[in-house]
Amino acid sequence: QVTLRESGPALVKPTQTLTLTCSFSGFSLSTNGMCVSWIRQPPGTALEWLARVNWDDHKYYSTSLKTRLTISKDTSKNQVILTMTDMDPVDTATYYCARMIYGGPFDYWGPGTLVTVSS
């Protein structure tokens, strides 16, 4: 079955760079049509899509955050990595990774990882 799990630091300081890893199983990012996205949710608020990487290594970013985000994949390890630079307290959120099939919705989600930005 398809599973995803996020990992990374629970606490980062302002101005630092955040690196999150999404480890998944049950599908391969080398299969045509497979994609993985990152989505975040600040406490008590709505979901915000951040970035996506496709099976063909095409990458897409949120317009408002594209200068701070980098997404990459390691197909051999079944992992997707997200880096976000210049972290600020407003970036405090639960960060999710989710699978989508090209042109479709997010059909499987990881449980999420809470990242707090504080000095």
- Spatial CA neighbour of 97 closest among 17, 29, 11, 12: 29
| Parallel, antiparallel or unpaired: strands 113-117 and 11-12 | parallel
- Spatial CA neighbour of 39 closest among 14, 77, 65: 65
Q: Can you tell me which residue has the tokens 């985000």? A: 69
Query: Is residue 48 within the footprint of other proteins (CB under 8 A)?
Result: yes
- Spatial CA neighbour of 15 closest among 94, 95, 119: 119
Among 22, 24, 36, 52, binds other proteins (CB under 8 A): 52
Q: Which is nearer to other proteins, 90 or 103 (CB)?
A: 103
Query: Is residue 83 within the footprint of other proteins (CB under 8 A)?
Result: no
Q: Which stretch binds other proteins (CB under 8 A): 23-31, 71-79, 82-90, 97-105?
A: 97-105
CB of 76 to other proteins, least distance (A): 26
Give the H or E element holding residue 36.
strand 34-41
Q: Which is nearer to other proteins, 16 or 114 (CB)?
A: 114
Chain residues that interact with other proteins, rule: CB under 8 A? 37, 46-49, 52, 60, 63, 96, 100, 103-107, 109-112
